[in-house]
Chains A and B, each alone.
Chain A
Amino acid sequence: MAEVRFTLNGTSKRVAVPPTRRLSEVLREDCGLTGTKVGCDAGDCGACTVLLDGRAVCACLTPAAQAQGVDVLTVEGESPVLTRLRAAFLAHGAAQCGICTPGMLMAATALLLAEPAPDANQVEEALGGVLCRCTGYAKIIAAVVAAGAGPALAPVVRGGVGVRIERLDGAAKVEGRDLFGADLWPEGALMLKAVRSTHAHAAFTFGDMAGWHAARPGVAAIFTAADIPGRNAFGVIPAFADQPALAEGRARFRGEAVALVAFEPGAEPDLSDFPVNWQPLPALTDPTAAMAATDLLHENRPGNQLTQGFVRCGDADAALATSAHVAEGEVDTALVEHAYIEPEAGAAWMEGEVLVIRACTQAPVMDRDDMAALLALPSERVRIIPSAVGGGFGSKLDLSLQPFLGLVTLKTGRPCRMVYSRSESMASTTKRHPARIRARIGCDGDGRITAMEFDGIFNTGAYSSWGPTVANRVPVHATGPYRTPHVRARARAIHTHGPVAGAFRGFGVPQAAVMQETLYDRLADQAGIDRLEFRLLNAYRDGDRTATGQVLDAVGIRDCLMALHPHWRRALSDARAAGGSLLRGVGVASCWYGCGNTSLPNPSTIRIGITRDGRLMLHQGATDIGQGSNTVISQIAAEALGLPVGAFTLIGPDTFLTPDAGKTSASRQTYVTGRAALAAGAGLRAAILRLGNWGSDARLTLDGPFIRANGGAIDLSALPADDMGYVLRAEESYDPPTMPLDAEGQGKPYAVYGYGAQLVELAVDPGLGTVRLLKITAAHDVGRAINPMLIEGQIEGGIAQGIGMALMEDYIPGRTDNLHDYLIPTTGDVPPIESLIIEVPHPEGPYGAKGLGEHVLIPTAPAILNAIRHATGVTLSRLPVLPHRLLAALKSDTR
């Protein structure tokens, strides 16, 4: 132990700690300041950036002893620069999930101290060491420029539908007060570590665990599958639940947990000699091989096939045989890691008979039900409180460490906590499915699409997770938003001994779009039609019938493509005019995406209540993982109710306090939960109007215990309160009207689709095979923009993920389990993005709104590939387009 004295945010501090303890640990654990976030413990993400005597450093790489005598500033500190930055971050919408925000703010503070009026390039460089997975960086850079000498945006904090109000939960994020999974734990909580397989496939037995335990006095308990009281098989789709919380005798992927060690704080054991005997077994890693193999990952799934999705209309073979032009191709996409900056974390404790699990999640009610089954508890004895979520993108829909937290607390009666390391997070949680897709698309002599044949093999890894959803969603979306009279589309989810592939922004549709949109470019060329005109010619219109037989309304794809039209002309002309050694290219791609579950119920319920003292409570169970549902749902409810958005107090999400608003996935919260919020707001308004005997146009105000309108008042304090303490209450649900798909994939899988198209301008360096993105213009039909600032943030962030998928992201188990070998875009990798918000209102959507969250990622990668082909003539079939792959293609010239 060493005594370290330093100044912390202006106050002198003295701690006795191991001298090489990471400063991040000292700040969080010893000083209680959890605003400094830990994303990687390796200097790869910058989330833990703090200032030491004004120098920005990673606290995770700083020995406590080097803080001796130093002035340490963290996000919780006060300084004029930090104050300006915080205001600018809020006004610009620069914080989404907020997990990188402290690091960004501190890196920006260091910059502004050295350079009070930086330009965007200086900001980009200064923030290059902090990764963000949500925002695409544009709003962060703009905020820092504004906090310097740029024009400051005035804060907007009031407004209903259509207003760019600041996030309602933003202040806590920019002040380091937002509490993520790792930021809250009960005093004395046991800490947990998992023993994981280092083999893709292995049988195992345990050795002398009692002896190992006895030699380690700090170890409180060891758990294996034998300790799980309930059904040791979880999964997001109950019919397919197959994943053990702790494996039983056989590990099916590298990183699978086999045992759990609970220990006293400060007594972390080294697990490298944990007594487990591994017998490595042959691993099936290629899905094609797995389909032919006799070794089955799950006995009841012949051919290692989890499920198949299928859509057929017309006669694709016959139509292709007679088409004037046919383009055929194949693509291979990589495993893509979600790489949220917050590794999974959480805590558990008992409240009487109730097991409370507070962890990062996108799906609290699903977590509750799966936990109840695992632990053999009635669901009312499990309470799930989602922490602030530092990015999810689909992976935090699945259980990760919740079973461990729940098991230990239930078995020991003691509170516990667990934080995944970066490598553990990457090795053990879900990924985007690698897809191997073949397709043929035909068109007639005028360029009208005639038919498509699509066959995708999706490597779903060891367990089911969202594999069935991906397999079902992909064939429905295989055509893209284009009229295609004859379609045969199949997607199969195949098990391998690889990472569990699950939900990742788009559920397989981004992979499918890479196939279809690159083929459309080739077809357009064959037909001699401009690539954008080709898309306009074939784009769905109202009244068109999709491959599933659904008749569409409120179709926005033509509007999106038309909005891109002037940009397309300008970009093509710029590309032609550009000289120099770089090859300029322009590409376009579209998307459509059904909002909500595919042909399955997914209701949301929203409750609003008013107390006797006039507090307006919004029970908002839609987890906000950064996308903004706290704000958007409030704006919708406020608009419907006719009271200002600031009047709401947000409650939840919390399975004990909020009705089920479903999971945050499938781009469903704005649309589905938004519709419920609209109904609840309208219902409460109707009750108020009845009580006050006011007309429908009454302007309501909430004034202490009075609701006033038209010179009259309702005295809330005089009304009887119900069992929840409310004198007025409305609770409404909404479930999208869909119909099942039959064996031919015919039906109405979604009630609402959103549409979009993106235009990419880039330059290829033919000497090195590198790609430099110059600009991306994105047109997205959102039906009605509830909050345009949040929409831009979604577009910019989705595009950044699409860029990563196209150009750099490739997860290799055991090799890229960190954020320096697994690369995601930095501030310097995202070009300027121009968002064109299109509003074609849908009658089902709240105020016409459609979903957006996933749509934004879908067109990016294919548009990049199309622009590369335009620039070079080269057709690439494998993602990511790493420099060596592009250069090899240029040299072999696949034109």
Chain B
Amino acid sequence: MAEAGAYERPGGLTSALALLTARPWRMLAGGTDLYPMTGARALVGDILDLTGLEELRGITLSREGLRIGACVRWAEIAGASLPPALAALQQAAREVGGRQIQNAGTIGGNLCNASPAADGVPPLLALGAEVQLASADAARRMALADFVTGPRQTALRPGEMLAAVVIPRAGLMGRSRFVKLGARKYLVISIASVAVRLVEREGRVADLAVAVGACSAVARRIAAVESALRDAPLAEAAARVRDQDVAAALAPLDDIRATAVYRAGAAAELIRRAVADLAVAKPAGDSDG
């Protein structure tokens, strides 16, 4: 048996941050990434279990935007009543693993695990999401795009934890789609995943956010596509997605799931489909801000 490390499951953020200041801990939330990494019967090392922290829970809308606590589980996101702009995030929430994973895995864990194929990241990038980082000294906030710095790498500093994801007001505009491509239907690591958020005005694309996952070390926004589609008539928008714009923005790999060439092309195709779908589908009550 692995040597027993320390384990704490504090009931409040202050005590959790005090622990985190004192020494390094592995932070545990839903466990859906930590346990698969070990064959052991229990986790190894010092474990700080964040699931007792009320401050990291709940989805709340304020003047500032929408706050999703880091320990909010995917199933909670999928089941919440959220603005149409978050439809992509909710779709992604239903495709992260199976129900069992969605019932345990958290949005914060997904971001901190920083897998290139994390399904939660493209929708959040398309929402312009920011992350709230807490530490005993100070809180700070940064764009999600700056937080995930590489495969399995984040900007989290010693003593810091991810407290919440915040979607600024501007990100709550429009409607969105998430499309995931895998070699089977459920429980599958994405070959490519795409999130598109579209703000419509008078039949045209007023604003657009496009993000692609699993095709580069970190999921990316595709600025060239976004600018190419801005002001396009809705009916023509999908046709303006150019393969070369998508390919130039990505750095896909050849791996067991697909070739790099395939990934880049599939990402463009998925973007076109998401845009086309958004162009025709206008859910009731979607005022596009």
B15 at interface, CB cutoff 8 A: no
Per-position 1/0 for B232-271, Cβ under 8 A of A = 0000000000000000000000001111011101100110
Stretch at the interface among B81-89, B128-136, B155-163, B180-188: B180-188
Whether B187 lies near A821 (C-beta < 8 A) is no
A-B contact count (CB 8 A): 168
A residues less than 8 Å from B53 (CB atoms): none
B residues less than 8 Å from A132 (CB atoms): none
Contact of A768 among B4, B101, B261, B269 (CB under 8 A): B269
Contact of B258 among A19, A25, A68, A884 (CB under 8 A): A884
A residues less than 8 Å from B188 (CB atoms): 820, 823, 826
Whether B184 lies near A46 (C-beta < 8 A) is no
Given contacts A821-B256, A883-B181, contact A66 B35 (CB under 8 A): no
CA distance in complex: A883, B35 (Å): 30
B103 at interface, CB cutoff 8 A: yes
CA distance in complex: A888, B266 (Å): 12
Whether A129 lies near B30 (C-beta < 8 A) is no
B residues less than 8 Å from A887 (CB atoms): 262, 265-266
Per-position 1/0 for B58-91, Cβ under 8 A of A = 0000000000000000010000000000000000
Whether A828 lies near B100 (C-beta < 8 A) is no
The A-contacting residues of B in range 166-206, CB under 8 angstroms, are 181, 183-189, 191
Most chain B C-beta atoms within 10 Å of own C-beta, residue among A43, A55, A129: A43
B2 at interface, CB cutoff 8 A: yes
A residues less than 8 Å from B9 (CB atoms): 19, 65-66, 68
A residues less than 8 Å from B258 (CB atoms): 882-884
Number of B residues contacting the other chain (C-beta, 8 Å)? 48
Whether A20 lies near B43 (C-beta < 8 A) is yes
Contact of A268 among B41, B75, B101, B270 (CB under 8 A): B41
Whether A826 lies near B184 (C-beta < 8 A) is yes
B1 at interface, CB cutoff 8 A: yes
Closest to A62 in B: B31
Per-position 1/0 for A120-137, Cβ under 8 A of B = 000001101111000000
Given contacts A55-B75, A55-B103, A826-B186, contact A63 B31 (CB under 8 A): yes
Closest to B188 in A: A823
A647 at interface, CB cutoff 8 A: no
Whether B99 lies near A110 (C-beta < 8 A) is yes
Closest to A58 in B: B100
Per-position 1/0 for A880-895, Cβ under 8 A of B = 0011100110000000
A residues less than 8 Å from B150 (CB atoms): none
B residues less than 8 Å from A883 (CB atoms): 181, 183, 191, 258, 262, 266
A residues less than 8 Å from B47 (CB atoms): 19-20, 63
Question: How many Å from the CB of B37 to the closest CB on chain A?
Answer: 9
Closest to A103 in B: B100
Contact of A767 among B39, B189, B261, B269 (CB under 8 A): B269
Whether B259 lies near A129 (C-beta < 8 A) is no
A residues less than 8 Å from B186 (CB atoms): 125, 128-129, 826-828
Closest to A25 in B: B41
Whether A22 lies near B42 (C-beta < 8 A) is yes
Per-position 1/0 for A508-544, Cβ under 8 A of B = 0000000000000000000000000000000000000
Most chain A C-beta atoms within 10 Å of own C-beta, residue among B7, B100, B256: B100
CA distance in complex: A768, B28 (Å): 37
Given contacts A107-B99, A129-B99, contact A63 B43 (CB under 8 A): yes
A residues less than 8 Å from B35 (CB atoms): 22, 41-43, 60-61
Question: How many Å from the CB of B262 to the closest CB on chain A?
Answer: 4
Whether B100 lies near A826 (C-beta < 8 A) is no
Whether A815 lies near B256 (C-beta < 8 A) is yes
Whether A882 lies near B100 (C-beta < 8 A) is no
A178 at interface, CB cutoff 8 A: no
Question: How many Å from the CB of B74 to the closest CB on chain A?
Answer: 12
Contact of A2 among B2, B7, B191 (CB under 8 A): B7
B residues less than 8 Å from A687 (CB atoms): none
Closest to B3 in A: A270
Closest to A24 in B: B41
CA distance in complex: A60, B40 (Å): 11
Given contacts A43-B32, A768-B181, A826-B185, contact A129 B100 (CB under 8 A): yes
Contact of B100 among A46, A767, A823 (CB under 8 A): A46
Given contacts A44-B187, A129-B101, contact A266 B49 (CB under 8 A): no
Whether A768 lies near B266 (C-beta < 8 A) is yes
A149 at interface, CB cutoff 8 A: no
A659 at interface, CB cutoff 8 A: no
Closest to B265 in A: A887
Whether A56 lies near B103 (C-beta < 8 A) is yes
Whether B191 lies near A21 (C-beta < 8 A) is no
Question: How many Å from the CB of B162 to the closest CB on chain A?
Answer: 19
The prevalent SS among residues of A at the interface is loop
CA distance in complex: A423, B4 (Å): 24
Stretch at the interface among A293-301, A806-814, A868-876: A806-814
Contact of A21 among B39, B42, B51, B257 (CB under 8 A): B42
Contact of B185 among A68, A128, A131, A268 (CB under 8 A): A128
Per-position 1/0 for A10-30, Cβ under 8 A of B = 000000001111100100000
A788 at interface, CB cutoff 8 A: no
A residues less than 8 Å from B184 (CB atoms): 808, 823, 825-826, 828-829
The A-contacting residues of B in range 24-55, CB under 8 angstroms, are 28, 30-32, 35-36, 39-43, 47, 49, 51
Closest to B36 in A: A42
Whether B7 lies near A129 (C-beta < 8 A) is no
Closest to A263 in B: B1
Question: How many Å from the CB of A868 to the closest CB on chain B?
Answer: 15
Per-position 1/0 for A250-293, Cβ under 8 A of B = 00000000000000001110100000000000000000000000
Contact of A128 among B7, B43, B98, B183 (CB under 8 A): B98
B145 at interface, CB cutoff 8 A: no
Given contacts A21-B41, A62-B104, contact A43 B36 (CB under 8 A): yes
CA distance in complex: A22, B31 (Å): 10
Contact of B187 among A128, A807, A815 (CB under 8 A): A128
Closest to B6 in A: A19
A816 at interface, CB cutoff 8 A: yes
CA distance in complex: A827, B47 (Å): 35
Closest to B40 in A: A268
CA distance in complex: A46, B104 (Å): 13
Per-position 1/0 for A460-488, Cβ under 8 A of B = 00000000000000000000000000000
Closest to B192 in A: A768
Per-position 1/0 for A328-343, Cβ under 8 A of B = 0000000000000000
The B-contacting residues of A in range 854-885, CB under 8 angstroms, are 882-884
A49 at interface, CB cutoff 8 A: yes
The B-contacting residues of A in range 36-56, CB under 8 angstroms, are 41-44, 46, 49, 55-56
CA distance in complex: A421, B36 (Å): 12
B residues less than 8 Å from A56 (CB atoms): 99-100, 103
B residues less than 8 Å from A888 (CB atoms): 259, 261-262
Whether A129 lies near B98 (C-beta < 8 A) is yes
B residues less than 8 Å from A49 (CB atoms): 100
B residues less than 8 Å from A815 (CB atoms): 256
Closest to B262 in A: A884
Question: How many Å from the CB of B123 to the closest CB on chain A?
Answer: 19
CA distance in complex: A130, B100 (Å): 9
B residues less than 8 Å from A20 (CB atoms): 7, 28, 42-43, 47
CA distance in complex: A23, B101 (Å): 15
| Known pairs A42-B35, A56-B99, A66-B9 / 8 extra A-B pairs, C-beta < 8 Å | A25-B42, A41-B39, A63-B42, A107-B99, A126-B99, A128-B99, A768-B269, A829-B184
3 nearest CB pairs, A to B: A129-B98, A828-B185, A128-B186
A selection of 29 A-B contacts at a CB cut-off of 8 Å is: A1-B4, A18-B41, A19-B42, A20-B28, A22-B35, A42-B35, A43-B100, A44-B36, A55-B104, A56-B100, A58-B100, A61-B32, A61-B100, A125-B186, A128-B186, A128-B187, A266-B1, A770-B181, A808-B183, A821-B256, A826-B184, A827-B185, A829-B184, A882-B257, A882-B258, A884-B258, A884-B261, A884-B262, A888-B261
